Amino acid sequence: MAKAEPITVAVIDHDKDFLKNILTVLRKEKDIRVCASYVITNYVKESTVADSAANDVMLLEPKVLLISQMVLREAAAMNLDFVMHIRDKVQTMRTILSVDHYAEEVALIGIREGIRGLYMRKLGTSQIVSCVRAVAAGGIWFEPLMISRVFDEFSKLYKHIDSLQSPTKVHQERLSLLSPREMEILGLISNSCTNADIAKTLFISEETVRTHIRNMFEKTGVKNRVEAMLLLVRSGLAS
């Protein structure tokens, strides 16, 4: 019987101690091989490292990419769109996002973009091997509370499935209430941009972004960013 190929893993994190601990545990497993690891805290200061990390991932084609949410968001070393670009280049790769805190928005957008695991960093290394194996095998990895809350959110959305399938003219009429700037922000939201990403792209403050989003929600009647994205899709205007 042929020996199974090891699960190749690339790890990109913002915390060198967390990364060290993760690597120590993963490297003890005979069926797991770490093919690349990087610490990235700031893209501006470490753009060369970030570029090398992205290039290595695309070149090595790991089975699993374990990447910190901080790297994607707060540290601005990369963004979700860029990671999804890597994922599209490496069709067999599955992505796990390590997070400090649970947030429905992160979970929902992550699922929509193809992320297959959300690993709570508070767990340390206690369940990382199980997480990597589950995702590598084609499964998903969420804490039970996460699964419950994510499915609750999807359930709320799909209770309105009839209205979502109504003629797109209705949705276009709702979007016609928005200003050009609000439409621009809605488009960025549909591309998984955070408020910080939007502010940087449009050269405005995050407070201004929040104000535009509040106004947009009031005008269209949506309750959250996921509903806003669905409204854009149903209008037929999503790119």
pLDDT value, residue 105:
65
pLDDT along the chain (239 residues), means of 10: 79 93 95 92 71 81 88 53 61 83 67 79 91 89 70 60 51 81 86 80 89 89 76 63
Is 6 within 8 Å of 33 (Cβ atoms)?
Answer: yes
Q: What domains sit in the chain, N to C, each tagged with a CATH number?
A: 7-153 (3.40.50.2300), 160-235 (3.40.50.2300)
Determine the Cα–Cα distance for residues 49 and 55; give it in Å rounded to an integer: 10
For 77, phi and psi rounded to 5 degrees? -70, -35
How many Cα atoms within 13 Å fall on the side-chain side of residue 79?
A: 12
Sheet of 94-99, strands arranged across: 32-39, 7-13, 64-68, 94-99, 117-120
Collapsing DSSP to helix, strand or coil, 239 comes out as coil
- Total Cβ atoms within 10 A of residue 208: 15
